[in-house]
Amino acid sequence: MKRIKVTAGIIIDNDKVLITRRAPKENFAGGWEFPGGKIEINETPEECLIRELKEELNIVVCVGKLCAEVAYDYDDISIDLIAFYCTIVEGEIQMSVHDKYKWVKINDLLKYNLLPADIPIAKKVMEEHI
């Protein structure tokens, strides 16, 4: 099974956190996730997150502390997901690979159809911000 390393940005504004929904033609279409993407060769997780959030959401972020690391095996792929807290420093959200984004109350995260690898991260965010 193919194994990839990916990042996710946990962007919090007051008591809300940003989640994005995968567009119909993307893998895991319709699933909600913390935005991010695949780490390229010779790229640090932090560099990846900055690049991916710029490409996917048109925002520039400052990457903060590590939130969580999750290993998850989907049917056809295994991922190592590294999530960092981030702050938006520039830009307005414009989507390219997602069809929707929402600022949701941290306590309501598990009410959304989060992708399985994102659920442990959501629980950690809830634990740290209650």
**How far is Cα 55 from Cα 46, in angstroms, rounded to an integer?**
14
Total number of domains in the chain: 1
* CATH number of 19's domain: 3.90.79.10
* Residues recorded for the chain: 130
Q: What is the pLDDT of residue 27?
A: 82
Q: Is pTM beyond 0.85 here?
A: yes
Q: What is the pLDDT of residue 1?
A: 83
Measured between its terminal Cα atoms, the distance across the chain in Å is 37
- Per-residue tens of pLDDT for the chain, all 130 residues: 889 999 999 999 999 999 999 988 888 889 999 999 999 999 999 999 999 999 999 999 999 999 999 999 998 899 999 999 999 999 999 998 899 999 999 999 999 999 999 999 999 999 998 6
Ranges of H-type helices in 4-100: 45-57
Q: What is the pLDDT of residue 26?
A: 82
Q: Name residues whose C-beta falls within 8 Å of residue 25's C-beta, 6 or more positions apart in sequence.
A: none
Rg (CA), the chain: 13
Structural domain boundaries enclosing 26: 2-128
**How far is Cα 1 from Cα 25, in angstroms, rounded to an integer?**
22
